[in-house]
Structures are given as C-alpha cells and as structure tokens.
C-alpha cells in the first residue's frame, strides 16, 4: 500500500507540471444519466417542474486521498416561456496536494416543438472556474534524494489559484422515449495551468443518446416496467472515452450494468471499468448507487469507485395559459 501511495504522490506532482501543457481532463461521473445538466445545458428544465440533484463520487477508494467529486444542481421548467433555467456546482479534490476544482454556473434551454411527439432543445451554459493547489503538501523528486527526506525543494512553484470563465452549448432532440444530443464544452478555452498563461483547457465534444423500451404501463401508475439503453461518448484533446449500457426498471427497483472505455478497440488505454447499478425510483424521489469494478491496468487493487446520487422532483404551479412541452424521458 505504501508503494501505491508513493506512486500516486509522484503522479500528482507530474500532473501539476503537465497542466502547463493542457493535458488534463474534466471530472466525470459513472452516473452521467443522473447528472443531466453536467452533460448538456439543454437538460435545464427538462422535467415536469422543479428538480434537485446531488451526487458524490469516491474514485479508487483504497488509495489514500484520490479523486473525490461532488455536484449539486437545481433546475426549473418555466412552461409559459418554453424555457428551462438551471444552476450547477461541482467540487473536485485530488491527491495529497489537495488539487481542487470548483465549477459553478447558470444554464438555459428553450423548447422548440417539431411535431406532436418530437422536441428540440438548444441550450447554453455560463460558468465560473477555480483551480487551487497546496504546494506544501507535495513531495518533489529532489526531496527524496537524501535520507532523511529533505523538507525543501529546488522545484520552482507556480500559482496557488487560477480563475477563469467558460461557456458550453448543446442541442437535444427527444421524444417521450428517445433522446439524442451533442455538447461543445470549454468554448472559451479557460486557463487551468498553475505555470503557463498560454496553457488552456482543450475543447470537449460529447455525443449522447438512448432509448426507453416500455414493457408494461398501467393506467394509474404510469410506466411500471421498462428497459433503457444509453451511451455517452467524449473527445477532449488526445483523450477519448465512452460509456455504454442500460438498466431495467420494475417499479420502484432499478438494476443496471455499464461499461466505460472504447468497445471493440484492442490495446486502447481508455478501457476503464464495469459499473454495477442499483437504485429505486418513486414518483418524486430517485436514489442510485453504482460501483465501478476497475478493468484497466490499475487493477482491482484500487478498490474500485463508489458513486451515489439523489434526485428530487417537485411540481410547479404556473398560472395563466401554459405551453405543455414534451418531457424528456427519465434516466
């Protein structure tokens, strides 16, 4: 275990230097289906009324001080304006150096009916970003040359904090059971490096979609049993990855299986994990837990990853003549 810890400390130090070359990628969730606004601003307001979603992820849980990510979002469907507005916040903490990321923003979407069963939702998001690092907690290579370990280093240190703004745009086409969309993130190429002003976060392009097969629907209870399949693919700089899988819903139980990586492509480093999903969905509340079984070269010694999400929907009473937009199918 000590060996793994030292490897990770060296890795974080190397990553900090590499940030100057814009090699970093964004935090990600196994439950992309439970973080819709993080996928695309078009999902803001894509519900019956108001919606609150909380998520927590502990990646590689056995290795000390690895990646821990939390997110929270609130969005509301304003039927009279055919619009959706949402706020989103994310916090990510990694490594002994407390490499931190805070993202917060405002999202807007507009519902365009194409026909009685198909809607188009363009969306846009504006974000504030903050990255920080505690250099006092890092251990550099020249500190390990002598025994006992030196308390000082000759390594030049960068900034402790980096601030910037960002914009994302998206498009979502959906019916009551089908959804497909695309997102362009980091349109302003925000700063992320602690060393170089020229280093910028690369564009991230995402394509996602899915379909819900209705197995049984009851008059009073609505959909009682269904099978949903979904996929989410991302490209960011030289990094690419995809999730594909699905879940079976039998009111109120949800069981699912997901694969993260690049299917059918051998010798590709993106093969990462199998995720097992267990959850419950009621009329207003949904709770989902996933466990990632690592299948990459890191192996099961990492402890895998744990993730849990809580979603709560509330009706919103709106007076006057209302436009009734077609609702997106639930994940």
pLDDT value at 24 more than 60: no
pLDDT over 60 (residue 1) = no
pLDDT score for 321: 56
Peptide bond into 148 cis (omega under 30): yes
Question: What does each C-alpha distance from 327 to 47, 84, 119, 323 come to in angstroms?
Answer: 6, 12, 9, 12
Asked if the peptide bond before residue 252 counts as cis, ω within 30 degrees of 0, the response is yes
Res 116: pLDDT: 86
pLDDT of 196 reads 73
> How many residues belong to the chain?
331
d(CA 255, CA 246): 9
Tokens linked to 21: 């070359």
- Phi, psi dihedral angles at 164 (to 5 degrees): -170, 175
CA 75/CA 83 separation, integer angstroms:
11
Tokens of 75: 């969005």
Task: Report which of 274, 265, 276, 268 is spatially closest to residue 300, judged by C-alpha positions.
Answer: 274
pLDDT of residue 198: 75
Model confidence over 68-114: pLDDT tens digits? 899 999 999 998 889 999 999 999 887 665 788 999 999 999 999 99
User: Residue 275 has which token pair?
Assistant: 């995720």
230: confidence class by pLDDT, cuts 50, 70, 90 = very high
Which value, to the nearest 10 degrees, does the dihedral of the CA atoms of residues 130, 131, 134, 135 take?
Answer: -140
Of the candidates 329, 316, 263, 323, the one whose C-alpha atom is nearest the C-alpha of residue 111 is 323
| Cα(150)–Cα(26) distance, integer angstroms | 33
The β-bridge partners of 210 are: 179, 230
Q: With bands split at pLDDT 50, 70 and 90, how would you rate the model's confidence at 200?
A: confident
pLDDT at 226: 95
* Segment 77-90, tens digit of pLDDT: 998 889 999 999 99
Q: What are phi and psi of 98, to 5 degrees?
A: 50, 50
pLDDT band per the 50, 70, 90 thresholds, residue 323: low
- What's the pLDDT band for 12 if we cut at 50, 70, 90? very low
Say how many CA atoms lie within 13 Å of 188 toward its Cβ: 15
DSSP assigned state of 22: T
pLDDT, tens digit (0-9, with 9 covering 90-100), for 124-156 = 999 999 988 877 777 776 667 766 666 666 677
Indicate the range of 6-15, 113-122, 146-155, 236-245 predicted with least confidence.
6-15
Contacts of 136 (CB under 8 A, 6+ apart): none
**pTM of the shown model:** 0.82
């Amino acid at each position: 275990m000590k060996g793994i810890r030292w490897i990770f400390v060296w890795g974080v130090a190397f990553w900090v230097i590499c940030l100057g070359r814009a090699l970093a990628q964004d935090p990600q969730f196994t439950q992309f289906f439970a973080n819709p606004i993080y996928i695309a601003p078009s999902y803001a307001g894509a519900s019956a009324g108001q919606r609150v979603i909380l998520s927590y992820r502990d990646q590689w849980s056995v290795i000390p001080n690895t990646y821990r990510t939390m997110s929270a979002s609130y969005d509301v469907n304003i039927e009279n304006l055919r619009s959706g507005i949402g706020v989103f916040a994310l916090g990510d903490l990694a490594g002994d150096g407390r490499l931190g990321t805070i993202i917060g923003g405002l999202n807007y979407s507009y519902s365009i009916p194409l026909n009685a069963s198909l809607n188009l939702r363009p969306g846009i998001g504006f974000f504030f970003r903050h990255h920080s690092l505690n250099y006092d907690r890092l251990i550099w290579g020249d500190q390990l040359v002598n025994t006992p370990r030196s308390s000082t280093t000759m390594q030049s240190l960068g900034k402790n904090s980096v601030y910037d703004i960002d914009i994302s745009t998206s498009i979502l086409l959906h019916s009551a059971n089908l959804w497909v969309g695309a997102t362009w993130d980091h349109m302003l190429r925000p700063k992320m490096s602690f060393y170089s002003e020229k280093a910028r976060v690369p564009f991230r392009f995402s394509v996602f979609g899915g379909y819900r097969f209705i197995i049984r629907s009851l008059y009073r209870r609505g959909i009682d049993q269904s099978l949903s399949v979904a996929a989410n693919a991302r490209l960011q700089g030289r990094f690419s990855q995809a999730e594909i899988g699905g879940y079976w819903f039998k009111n109120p139980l949800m069981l699912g299986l997901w694969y993260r990586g690049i299917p059918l492509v051998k010798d590709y480093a993106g093969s990462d994990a199998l995720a097992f999903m267990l959850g419950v969905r009621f009329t207003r509340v949904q709770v989902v837990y996933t466990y990632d079984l690592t299948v990459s070269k890191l192996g099961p010694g990492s402890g895998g990853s744990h993730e849990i999400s809580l979603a709560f929907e509330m009706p919103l009473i709106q007076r006057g003549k209302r436009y009734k937009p077609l609702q997106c199918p639930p994940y």
